[in-house]
Amino acid sequence: MKKISAAITGVHGFVPKDVLTNEDLSKIVDTSDDWILSRTGIKERRIMKDGASSDMAMEAVNALLRKKNIDPLEIELVIVGTVTPDYPFPSTANVLCDKTGMKNAWGFDLNAACSGFLFALSTGSQFIETGKYKKVLVVGVDKMTSIVDYQDRTTCVIFGDGAGVVLLEPNEEGLGLQDFILRSDGSGRQFLIQPAGGSAMPPSHETVDDRMHYVKQEGKQVYKFAVTNMAEVSAEIMEKNKLTSDDVAWLVPHQANLRIIDATANRMGLPSEKVMINIQKYGNTTAGTLPLCLWDYENQLKKGDNIILSAFGGGFTWGAVYIKWAYNS
Ligand code: UT7
Protein backbone atom coordinates (compact mmCIF):
# COMPACT_ATOMS: atom_id res chain seq x y z
CA MET A 1 0.00 0.00 0.00
CA LYS A 2 1.27 3.47 -0.88
CA LYS A 3 2.14 5.86 1.92
CA ILE A 4 -0.56 8.48 2.51
CA SER A 5 0.52 12.07 2.98
CA ALA A 6 -1.63 15.07 3.91
CA ALA A 7 -1.87 17.55 1.06
CA ILE A 8 -3.31 21.02 1.02
CA THR A 9 -5.88 20.81 -1.78
CA GLY A 10 -7.48 24.23 -1.36
CA VAL A 11 -7.01 27.52 0.43
CA HIS A 12 -9.12 30.59 1.05
CA GLY A 13 -9.02 33.67 3.23
CA PHE A 14 -11.12 36.48 4.57
CA VAL A 15 -10.23 39.97 5.73
CA PRO A 16 -12.76 42.53 6.97
CA LYS A 17 -13.51 45.44 4.63
CA ASP A 18 -12.54 48.24 7.03
CA VAL A 19 -8.98 49.54 6.65
CA LEU A 20 -6.95 51.21 9.40
CA THR A 21 -3.98 53.05 7.87
CA ASN A 22 -0.80 54.24 9.57
CA GLU A 23 -2.12 57.74 9.01
CA ASP A 24 -5.32 56.85 10.92
CA LEU A 25 -3.25 55.44 13.80
CA SER A 26 -1.16 58.59 14.00
CA LYS A 27 -4.37 60.37 15.01
CA ILE A 28 -4.98 57.91 17.87
CA VAL A 29 -1.46 57.49 19.32
CA ASP A 30 1.87 59.28 19.04
CA THR A 31 3.22 57.52 15.95
CA SER A 32 3.84 58.13 12.25
CA ASP A 33 3.58 56.35 8.93
CA ASP A 34 7.34 56.63 8.59
CA TRP A 35 8.06 54.96 11.97
CA ILE A 36 5.63 52.08 11.42
CA LEU A 37 6.69 51.44 7.83
CA SER A 38 10.42 51.57 8.49
CA ARG A 39 10.29 49.44 11.68
CA THR A 40 7.75 46.84 10.56
CA GLY A 41 6.88 47.10 6.85
CA ILE A 42 3.19 47.65 7.65
CA LYS A 43 1.17 50.29 5.75
CA GLU A 44 -2.35 49.34 6.78
CA ARG A 45 -4.34 46.59 8.42
CA ARG A 46 -7.93 45.36 8.35
CA ILE A 47 -10.18 45.72 11.36
CA MET A 48 -13.40 43.93 12.13
CA LYS A 49 -16.00 46.27 13.55
CA ASP A 50 -18.78 43.74 14.15
CA GLY A 51 -18.57 40.04 14.75
CA ALA A 52 -16.20 37.51 16.24
CA SER A 53 -13.33 35.32 15.08
CA SER A 54 -15.80 32.59 14.08
CA ASP A 55 -17.49 35.03 11.68
CA MET A 56 -14.25 35.67 9.79
CA ALA A 57 -13.47 31.95 9.80
CA MET A 58 -17.00 31.22 8.55
CA GLU A 59 -16.53 33.54 5.56
CA ALA A 60 -13.25 31.84 4.65
CA VAL A 61 -14.63 28.31 5.12
CA ASN A 62 -17.86 28.95 3.18
CA ALA A 63 -15.88 30.40 0.27
CA LEU A 64 -13.43 27.49 0.26
CA LEU A 65 -16.17 24.85 0.32
CA ARG A 66 -17.99 26.64 -2.52
CA LYS A 67 -14.76 26.90 -4.53
CA LYS A 68 -14.04 23.19 -4.02
CA ASN A 69 -17.69 22.20 -4.48
CA ILE A 70 -17.66 20.31 -1.19
CA ASP A 71 -20.71 19.77 1.02
CA PRO A 72 -20.08 20.96 4.60
CA LEU A 73 -21.32 17.55 5.77
CA GLU A 74 -18.21 15.92 4.23
CA ILE A 75 -15.81 17.68 6.61
CA GLU A 76 -14.70 15.36 9.41
CA LEU A 77 -12.42 17.50 11.57
CA VAL A 78 -11.82 21.24 12.03
CA ILE A 79 -8.84 22.64 13.91
CA VAL A 80 -8.84 26.37 14.64
CA GLY A 81 -5.58 28.10 15.53
CA THR A 82 -6.44 31.27 17.46
CA VAL A 83 -5.62 33.38 20.52
CA THR A 84 -8.85 35.35 20.14
CA PRO A 85 -11.52 32.66 20.45
CA ASP A 86 -15.15 33.79 20.52
CA TYR A 87 -15.31 32.59 24.16
CA PRO A 88 -12.94 30.93 26.63
CA PHE A 89 -15.34 28.03 25.99
CA PRO A 90 -17.03 26.59 23.99
CA SER A 91 -14.38 26.46 21.31
CA THR A 92 -14.44 28.60 18.20
CA ALA A 93 -14.24 25.37 16.20
CA ASN A 94 -17.57 24.31 17.72
CA VAL A 95 -19.18 27.63 16.87
CA LEU A 96 -17.71 27.56 13.38
CA CYS A 97 -19.05 24.06 12.67
CA ASP A 98 -22.50 25.24 13.71
CA LYS A 99 -22.38 28.43 11.62
CA THR A 100 -21.21 26.62 8.47
CA GLY A 101 -23.34 23.48 8.75
CA MET A 102 -20.36 21.13 9.24
CA LYS A 103 -22.57 18.88 11.33
CA ASN A 104 -20.51 15.71 10.96
CA ALA A 105 -17.25 17.33 12.04
CA TRP A 106 -15.71 17.52 15.47
CA GLY A 107 -13.19 20.19 16.21
CA PHE A 108 -11.08 22.02 18.69
CA ASP A 109 -9.10 25.23 19.13
CA LEU A 110 -5.35 25.22 19.31
CA ASN A 111 -3.52 28.06 21.03
CA ALA A 112 0.05 28.56 19.88
CA ALA A 113 -0.19 32.31 19.18
CA CYS A 114 1.53 33.26 15.92
CA SER A 115 2.63 29.64 15.42
CA GLY A 116 -0.99 28.48 15.73
CA PHE A 117 -1.47 27.70 12.06
CA LEU A 118 1.75 25.67 11.87
CA PHE A 119 0.90 23.69 14.98
CA ALA A 120 -2.66 23.11 13.69
CA LEU A 121 -1.47 22.14 10.21
CA SER A 122 0.95 19.58 11.62
CA THR A 123 -1.71 18.21 13.98
CA GLY A 124 -4.44 17.99 11.34
CA SER A 125 -2.08 16.22 8.95
CA GLN A 126 -1.66 13.33 11.37
CA PHE A 127 -5.35 12.43 11.08
CA ILE A 128 -4.97 12.21 7.28
CA GLU A 129 -1.68 10.30 7.33
CA THR A 130 -3.10 7.56 9.56
CA GLY A 131 -5.86 7.01 7.02
CA LYS A 132 -8.50 7.90 9.61
CA TYR A 133 -9.90 10.96 7.81
CA LYS A 134 -10.26 12.17 4.22
CA LYS A 135 -11.23 15.82 4.76
CA VAL A 136 -9.79 18.03 7.48
CA LEU A 137 -9.98 21.83 7.68
CA VAL A 138 -7.20 23.82 9.32
CA VAL A 139 -8.09 27.43 10.14
CA GLY A 140 -5.89 30.29 11.34
CA VAL A 141 -7.92 33.23 12.58
CA ASP A 142 -7.47 36.15 14.91
CA LYS A 143 -9.45 39.24 15.75
CA MET A 144 -6.45 40.98 17.28
CA THR A 145 -8.34 44.26 17.54
CA SER A 146 -10.38 42.64 20.34
CA ILE A 147 -7.27 42.38 22.56
CA VAL A 148 -5.10 45.26 21.34
CA ASP A 149 -4.75 48.37 23.49
CA TYR A 150 -5.27 51.48 21.36
CA GLN A 151 -3.49 53.52 24.03
CA ASP A 152 -0.28 51.48 23.59
CA ARG A 153 1.58 52.62 20.49
CA THR A 154 4.13 49.81 20.79
CA THR A 155 1.51 47.12 20.09
CA CYS A 156 -1.53 48.70 18.44
CA VAL A 157 0.32 49.56 15.24
CA ILE A 158 1.35 45.97 14.60
CA PHE A 159 -1.79 43.89 14.63
CA GLY A 160 -4.78 43.38 12.36
CA ASP A 161 -7.72 41.00 11.86
CA GLY A 162 -8.04 38.15 9.37
CA ALA A 163 -8.71 34.48 8.72
CA GLY A 164 -7.43 31.77 6.42
CA VAL A 165 -8.29 28.11 5.93
CA VAL A 166 -6.81 25.14 4.11
CA LEU A 167 -8.37 21.82 3.19
CA LEU A 168 -6.26 18.73 3.84
CA GLU A 169 -6.88 15.55 1.84
CA PRO A 170 -4.91 12.30 1.40
CA ASN A 171 -2.29 12.17 -1.33
CA GLU A 172 -0.52 9.05 -2.62
CA GLU A 173 1.91 10.81 -5.00
CA GLY A 174 4.25 11.93 -2.24
CA LEU A 175 2.91 15.50 -2.24
CA GLY A 176 1.76 17.48 0.80
CA LEU A 177 3.30 17.67 4.23
CA GLN A 178 6.85 16.29 4.24
CA ASP A 179 8.25 17.33 7.61
CA PHE A 180 7.81 19.66 10.55
CA ILE A 181 9.90 21.00 13.39
CA LEU A 182 7.86 22.61 16.15
CA ARG A 183 9.17 24.13 19.35
CA SER A 184 7.95 25.86 22.48
CA ASP A 185 9.65 27.51 25.43
CA GLY A 186 7.38 28.74 28.20
CA SER A 187 10.17 30.62 29.92
CA GLY A 188 9.55 33.42 27.39
CA ARG A 189 5.87 33.78 28.26
CA GLN A 190 6.14 37.15 30.01
CA PHE A 191 7.48 38.89 26.90
CA LEU A 192 4.30 38.48 24.86
CA ILE A 193 1.17 37.84 26.85
CA GLN A 194 -2.44 38.73 27.55
CA PRO A 195 -2.06 38.69 31.33
CA ALA A 196 -5.67 38.70 32.56
CA GLY A 197 -8.81 36.72 31.83
CA GLY A 198 -7.47 33.24 32.50
CA SER A 199 -7.11 31.24 35.70
CA ALA A 200 -3.84 32.98 36.62
CA MET A 201 -5.55 36.37 36.77
CA PRO A 202 -9.34 36.08 36.54
CA PRO A 203 -11.25 39.15 35.42
CA SER A 204 -11.93 41.76 38.09
CA HIS A 205 -12.49 45.51 38.23
CA GLU A 206 -8.77 45.89 38.96
CA THR A 207 -7.66 43.87 35.94
CA VAL A 208 -9.89 45.97 33.71
CA ASP A 209 -8.77 49.26 35.31
CA ASP A 210 -5.13 48.19 34.90
CA ARG A 211 -5.70 47.30 31.20
CA MET A 212 -4.48 43.76 31.85
CA HIS A 213 -6.81 42.17 29.28
CA TYR A 214 -4.78 43.62 26.44
CA VAL A 215 -1.72 42.23 24.67
CA LYS A 216 1.53 43.19 26.40
CA GLN A 217 4.71 42.85 24.40
CA GLU A 218 8.34 43.61 25.11
CA GLY A 219 9.08 44.18 21.46
CA LYS A 220 12.86 44.19 21.63
CA GLN A 221 13.03 40.89 23.54
CA VAL A 222 10.54 39.21 21.23
CA TYR A 223 12.39 40.57 18.21
CA LYS A 224 15.67 39.09 19.46
CA PHE A 225 14.21 35.62 19.97
CA ALA A 226 12.12 35.75 16.79
CA VAL A 227 14.87 36.83 14.46
CA THR A 228 17.21 34.06 15.67
CA ASN A 229 14.80 31.20 16.10
CA MET A 230 12.66 31.66 12.99
CA ALA A 231 15.77 31.84 10.82
CA GLU A 232 17.43 28.87 12.55
CA VAL A 233 14.45 26.54 12.40
CA SER A 234 13.88 27.39 8.73
CA ALA A 235 17.49 26.58 7.89
CA GLU A 236 17.31 23.44 10.05
CA ILE A 237 14.33 21.99 8.16
CA MET A 238 16.13 22.62 4.85
CA GLU A 239 19.27 20.84 6.06
CA LYS A 240 17.30 17.96 7.55
CA ASN A 241 15.58 17.42 4.19
CA LYS A 242 18.72 18.09 2.12
CA LEU A 243 17.13 21.09 0.40
CA THR A 244 19.31 23.78 -1.15
CA SER A 245 18.05 27.32 -1.69
CA ASP A 246 17.55 26.37 -5.38
CA ASP A 247 15.25 23.53 -4.35
CA VAL A 248 12.97 25.82 -2.32
CA ALA A 249 10.31 27.55 -4.43
CA TRP A 250 8.75 29.64 -1.65
CA LEU A 251 9.19 30.75 1.92
CA VAL A 252 5.90 31.48 3.67
CA PRO A 253 6.96 33.45 6.73
CA HIS A 254 4.86 34.69 9.62
CA GLN A 255 4.15 38.36 8.94
CA ALA A 256 5.24 40.11 12.15
CA ASN A 257 8.04 42.32 10.94
CA LEU A 258 9.66 42.72 7.53
CA ARG A 259 13.10 42.76 9.16
CA ILE A 260 12.50 39.32 10.72
CA ILE A 261 11.26 38.02 7.36
CA ASP A 262 14.38 39.36 5.60
CA ALA A 263 16.69 37.78 8.19
CA THR A 264 14.96 34.42 7.75
CA ALA A 265 15.18 34.56 3.95
CA ASN A 266 18.86 35.55 4.16
CA ARG A 267 19.66 32.68 6.51
CA MET A 268 18.00 30.31 4.00
CA GLY A 269 19.82 31.91 1.07
CA LEU A 270 16.55 32.82 -0.66
CA PRO A 271 16.09 35.85 -2.93
CA SER A 272 13.16 38.14 -2.17
CA GLU A 273 11.19 36.86 -5.21
CA LYS A 274 10.73 33.56 -3.37
CA VAL A 275 9.32 35.12 -0.21
CA MET A 276 5.59 35.64 0.32
CA ILE A 277 4.88 39.05 1.78
CA ASN A 278 1.56 40.72 2.50
CA ILE A 279 2.40 42.41 5.82
CA GLN A 280 2.06 45.82 4.17
CA LYS A 281 -1.72 45.40 3.75
CA TYR A 282 -2.78 43.17 6.66
CA GLY A 283 -0.18 43.69 9.42
CA ASN A 284 0.23 40.85 11.89
CA THR A 285 -2.95 38.75 11.98
CA THR A 286 -1.32 36.22 14.36
CA ALA A 287 -2.65 32.75 13.40
CA GLY A 288 -4.06 34.20 10.17
CA THR A 289 -0.82 35.26 8.50
CA LEU A 290 0.31 32.00 6.90
CA PRO A 291 -2.97 30.88 5.29
CA LEU A 292 -3.58 34.48 4.17
CA CYS A 293 -0.19 34.39 2.39
CA LEU A 294 -1.04 31.06 0.73
CA TRP A 295 -4.36 32.53 -0.36
CA ASP A 296 -2.77 35.67 -1.82
CA TYR A 297 -0.12 33.67 -3.70
CA GLU A 298 -2.20 30.61 -4.61
CA ASN A 299 -2.22 31.42 -8.34
CA GLN A 300 1.58 31.44 -8.47
CA LEU A 301 2.03 28.03 -6.83
CA LYS A 302 2.74 24.96 -8.91
CA LYS A 303 2.30 21.28 -8.25
CA GLY A 304 5.52 19.90 -6.77
CA ASP A 305 6.81 23.25 -5.45
CA ASN A 306 8.88 22.86 -2.28
CA ILE A 307 7.49 25.32 0.26
CA ILE A 308 8.77 26.14 3.74
CA LEU A 309 6.35 27.78 6.16
CA SER A 310 7.83 29.26 9.32
CA ALA A 311 6.63 31.23 12.29
CA PHE A 312 7.50 32.59 15.69
CA GLY A 313 5.11 33.76 18.37
CA GLY A 314 4.02 34.19 21.94
CA GLY A 315 4.78 31.36 24.32
CA PHE A 316 7.38 31.34 22.97
CA THR A 317 6.34 29.04 20.16
CA TRP A 318 8.02 28.59 16.81
CA GLY A 319 8.60 26.16 14.01
CA ALA A 320 8.88 25.33 10.34
CA VAL A 321 6.87 23.04 8.08
CA TYR A 322 8.01 21.63 4.75
CA ILE A 323 5.33 20.87 2.18
CA LYS A 324 5.24 19.90 -1.48
CA TRP A 325 2.43 21.86 -3.11
CA ALA A 326 -0.18 19.48 -4.52
CA TYR A 327 -1.98 21.31 -7.32
CA ASN A 328 -1.87 23.91 -10.08
CA SER A 329 -4.51 26.63 -9.80
O1 UT7 B 1 4.08 38.00 16.01
C2 UT7 B 1 4.56 37.59 17.24
C3 UT7 B 1 5.97 37.92 17.42
N4 UT7 B 1 6.15 39.35 17.51
C5 UT7 B 1 7.18 39.89 16.88
O6 UT7 B 1 7.89 39.23 16.18
C7 UT7 B 1 7.46 41.36 17.13
C8 UT7 B 1 8.93 41.56 17.36
N9 UT7 B 1 9.29 42.94 17.68
C10 UT7 B 1 9.25 43.91 16.75
O11 UT7 B 1 8.85 43.69 15.63
C12 UT7 B 1 9.78 45.27 17.14
O13 UT7 B 1 10.42 45.17 18.38
C14 UT7 B 1 8.72 46.38 17.18
C15 UT7 B 1 8.21 46.69 15.79
C16 UT7 B 1 7.54 45.95 18.06
C17 UT7 B 1 9.32 47.65 17.74
O18 UT7 B 1 10.45 48.05 16.97
P19 UT7 B 1 11.85 48.37 17.67
O20 UT7 B 1 12.76 48.75 16.60
O21 UT7 B 1 12.23 47.16 18.48
O22 UT7 B 1 11.50 49.60 18.56
P23 UT7 B 1 11.68 49.79 20.14
O24 UT7 B 1 10.62 49.03 20.88
O25 UT7 B 1 13.09 49.55 20.52
O26 UT7 B 1 11.42 51.33 20.26
C27 UT7 B 1 12.31 52.29 19.70
C28 UT7 B 1 11.78 53.67 19.96
C29 UT7 B 1 11.41 53.90 21.43
O30 UT7 B 1 11.69 55.23 21.73
P31 UT7 B 1 13.04 55.63 22.50
O32 UT7 B 1 13.02 54.86 23.78
O33 UT7 B 1 14.15 55.23 21.58
O34 UT7 B 1 12.88 57.11 22.68
C35 UT7 B 1 9.93 53.70 21.46
O36 UT7 B 1 9.30 54.39 22.48
O37 UT7 B 1 10.56 53.83 19.22
C38 UT7 B 1 9.52 54.23 20.11
N39 UT7 B 1 8.27 53.67 19.62
C40 UT7 B 1 7.50 54.29 18.72
N41 UT7 B 1 7.63 55.48 18.09
C42 UT7 B 1 6.66 55.81 17.19
C43 UT7 B 1 7.70 52.48 19.94
N44 UT7 B 1 6.55 52.31 19.25
C45 UT7 B 1 6.41 53.44 18.49
C46 UT7 B 1 5.44 53.83 17.55
N47 UT7 B 1 5.61 55.02 16.93
N48 UT7 B 1 4.36 53.07 17.24
Q: Which atom of ligand 1 is nearest to the CA of 227?
A: 6
Cα angle value 238/239/240 (rounded, 5°)? 95
CATH number, domain containing residue 194: 3.40.47.10
Same domain, 76 and 205: no
**3-class SS of residue 174:** coil
Residue 289 to residue 114: CA distance in whole angstroms: 8
pLDDT of residue 175: 98
pTM attached to this predicted model: 0.97
pLDDT of residue 179: 98
Q: pLDDT (tens digit, 9 = 90+) per residue, 198-215?
A: 999 999 999 999 999 999
Share of the chain above pLDDT 90, in %: 99
Cα angle value 286/53/114 (rounded, 5°)? 15
Q: pLDDT (tens digit, 9 = 90+) per residue, 212-234?
A: 999 999 999 999 999 999 999 99
Residue 61 identity (one-letter amino acid): V
Q: How far away, in angstroms, is 272 Cα from ligand 1 center? A: 24
The domain boundary residue, chosen from 175, 204, 221 = 175
Residue nearest to atom 25 of ligand 1 (CA): 220
Q: What is the mean pLDDT of the chain?
A: 98
Q: How far away, in angstroms, is 87 Cα from ligand 1 center? A: 30
Residues 117-126 have a mean pLDDT of: 98
Task: State the residue range of the domain holding 319.
Answer: 178-324
Residues 278-294 have a mean pLDDT of: 98
Q: What radius of gyration, in Å, describes the C-alpha atoms of the chain? A: 19
pLDDT of residue 199: 97
The domain boundary residue, chosen from 175, 204, 238 = 175
pLDDT at residue 321 is higher than 80: yes
Q: Look at residue 199 and tell me if it is in a domain.
A: yes
pLDDT of residue 277: 98
pLDDT of residue 2: 84
Confidence category of residue 66, pLDDT binned at 50, 70, 90: very high
For β-strands 77-81 and 44-47, DSSP reports them as unpaired
Same domain, 311 and 182: yes
Residues 288-297 have a mean pLDDT of: 98
Q: How far away, in angstroms, is 33 Cα from ligand 1 center? A: 13
Query: Which residues approach ligand 1 with their CB closer than 6 A?
Result: 31, 35-36, 39-40, 114, 153-154, 157-158, 219-220, 222-223, 226, 256-257, 260, 284, 312-313
Q: pLDDT (tens digit, 9 = 90+) per residue, 164-182?
A: 999 999 999 999 999 999 9
Query: Of 87, 16, 106, whose CA–CA distance to 57 is shortest?
Result: 16
The domain boundary residue, chosen from 175, 208, 225 = 175
Residues 86-95 have a mean pLDDT of: 98
pLDDT at residue 1 is higher than 80: no
Choosing from 82, 119, 257 the residue with most ligand 1 atoms within 8 A of its CB, the one to mutate for a pocket test is 257
Residues 77-87 have a mean pLDDT of: 98
For residue 45, list its beta bridge partners: 20
Which are the contacts of 277, defined by CB distance < 8 A and separation ≥ 6? 41, 253, 255, 258, 261, 293
Total count of domains within the chain: 2
The secondary structure of 113-170, three-state, reads HHHHHHHHHHHHHHHHHCCCCCCEEEEEEEEHHHCCCCCCHHHHCCECEEEEEEEEEE
pLDDT of residue 33: 98
